[in-house]
Amino acid sequence: QKEVEQNSGPLSVPEGAIASLNCTYSDRGSQSFFWYRQYSGKSPELIMSIYSNGDKEDGRFTAQLNKASQYVSLLIRDSQPSDSATYLCAVKGAGGTSYGKLTFGQGTILTVHP
Amino acid sequence: GAVVSQHPSWVICKSGTSVKIECRSLDFQATTMFWYRQFPKQSLMLMATSNEGSKATYEQGVEKDKFLINHASLTLSTLTVTSAHPEDSSFYICSATRVGALSRTGEKLFFGSGTQLSVL
């Protein structure tokens, strides 16, 4: 079983729609969760971080965390073609995990078409 | 914002040669740097954690004699792929954390621009 699992997609949504990206993780003790956006051939850039159950909103982005279900999601409202990228879910494990060590999902390819 | 410079951005080499990739934190001191590898359409896989002045910690399955990591200063870490083979062709990315960063990583984790390695 993969430690961090995402649907690889591709996920295709029309411009202006809501894109919903999902991620599940296996380490129940995980404390920190992140969403990165990665354009082809580029390094990841941090979009959102979330640490507590519930929703966290930042502009058009909303991260949702449910630790009981070991599930984290990212919603992108009013999707734009420039949002087309691969979205990586990353999780920092509990306790003994070394500082800075993140486990990444395989990424979901999002395509926003005009 | 903090900048991590990674060089070269791409390299093509012959099988059997060694390739060195540099990762520099330009405007902050990085106590720890991380090296990742990413194959096409796959996730970033952590290869090793590099701490200034000490030996790198390698992840399970990563050959430390093949992937040499040196972190000689608080602003520079290098990854050398020794005797590269076609199966080493991948996208290599470094990241760095700032000295005094908050305990919640991710927000203080800065990525380099990546190096695409192609071994012929």
Q: How many CA atoms lie within 13 A of B46 on its CB side?
A: 24
Residue B102 has pLDDT above 60, yes or no: no
Residues of chain A positioned with their CB less than 8 A from the CB of B37: none
Confidence of residue A30 (pLDDT cuts 50, 70, 90): confident
CB contact under 8 A, B106 and A92: yes
Residue B92, min C-alpha distance to chain A (Å): 9
Check B105 against A46: CB less than 8 A apart: no
| A35/B contact by beta carbon, under 8 A | no
Instruction: Considering only residues A71 and A98, tell me which one the structure prediction assigns the higher pLDDT.
Output: A71
**pLDDT recorded at residue A102:** 84
Q: What are phi and psi of B87, to 5 degrees?
A: -70, -10
The whole-number pLDDT of residue B3 equals: 85
Please count the other Cβ atoms lying within 10 Å of the Cβ belonging to residue A6: 23
* Whole-number percent of chain B with pLDDT over 90: 62
Q: Is the pLDDT of residue A100 over 60?
A: no
Question: Which range has highest mean pLDDT (A67-81, B32-46, B104-118)?
Answer: A67-81
A101 at interface of B, judged by CB pairs closer than 8 A: yes
* Confidence at A2, pLDDT banded by 50, 70, 90: low
